[in-house]
Amino acid sequence: MTEPLPNLQALALFVAVVDEGGMGAGARRRGMHQPNATRMIAHLEAQAGTALLERDPRGSRPTSAGLLYAAHARELLAAAEEFSAWLRLSRDEGARELTVGASMTIAEHLMPAWLTELRRSSPRVRVELEVLNSTRVLAGIHTGHLRLGFVETPHVPRGVHAMTLREDELVAVVGPEHPWARRERPLEPAELAGTPLVVREGGSGTRDAFEELVPAAARTAPVQELGSNAAVRIAVASGAGPAVLSMLAVRASLETGQLHRVPVSGPPLRRLLTAVWNGPRRLSGPAADLVAVAAARPRADG
């Protein structure tokens, strides 16, 4: 004979009684009358085949079996809450609209191809894209303003779901007239770290990743701080100083000779590009479709 499925309301009541230390307080927390709560707990104990609570004038305490029961009940209730959140999001996604935040390098060099592919496979999906630095993307995910985000920073906070999409390489670049453009030996990381650079603004994933990979660089004041990859490229090409940018952001400028790459000794400066979201761990609807496109995209960027 199949065992009946647990009553989630009864399990939530039992956990409330354990947490509050008494039947009356637990019932009030769940918005129930105490006689109804008492009957519900008695039914749970009959199903479990053992006493789950020890009752005395001072309150109700879980038995050893009750402690184990409560631990499993919490797991089941958490799964039920996640299912409810997924169901709510599924209903909300009936309009097939998606608000996405992307950090600048991803938005400029990867997102156009991703959105084109998504439109091809899901033509009814409407994506509203906000181009922000990584810190602001994560803030939008935290507040719920953004359903999905794409960031370059290594500092993804706890509690945010994340999926690594690919690796990206950071490279040192200079203008054609800079002495390093004719340099024959690779730069040592310490020399790069000690050189004033043209950098992105605070909160940029590119800057965060570089300072994570070369921590000493954070102690050197920049020569300029600019708000976009394009502005940094123009400043470097004009002779303002070296910069460290994503290969995605400088490849075209390297091919035309507007910028020159300066080799750096040691392992490549690699960082991760990551999709981030809140809510249920498993994405659904247009958000899941877009992440699948991003993860499957050919890695021609190297």
Amino acid at 211: E
| pLDDT value, residue 114 | 95
| pLDDT value, residue 90 | 62
**Chain centroid offset of residue 178 CA:** 38
Whether pTM exceeds 0.95: no
Per-residue pLDDT tens over the stretch 64-94: 999 999 999 999 999 888 888 777 666 555 5
* Residue 298 reports pLDDT greater than 60: no
- For the domain covering 8-92, report its CATH number: 1.10.10.10
Per-residue pLDDT tens over the stretch 211-232: 999 999 999 999 999 999 999 9
Asked if residues 114 and 294 have their Cβ atoms less than 8 Å apart, the reply is yes
* Residue 276 reports pLDDT greater than 50: yes
> Same fold for the domain at 96-159+275-296 and the one at 167-271?
yes
Per-residue pLDDT tens over the stretch 171-216: 999 999 999 999 989 999 999 999 999 999 999 999 999 999 999 9
Domain spans of the chain, in order of start: 8-92, 96-159+275-296, 167-271
Residue 123 makes CB contacts below 8 A (sequence gap 6+) with none
Q: How would you label 198-236 residue by residue, b for 16+ Cβ within 10 Å and e otherwise? A: bbbeebbbbbbbbbebbeebeeeebeebbebbeebbbbb
- Domain 167-271: top CATH class: alpha beta
Higher-pLDDT residue of 298 and 237 is 237
Report the CATH superfamily, name and number, of domain 96-159+275-296.
Answer: Periplasmic binding protein-like II (3.40.190.10)
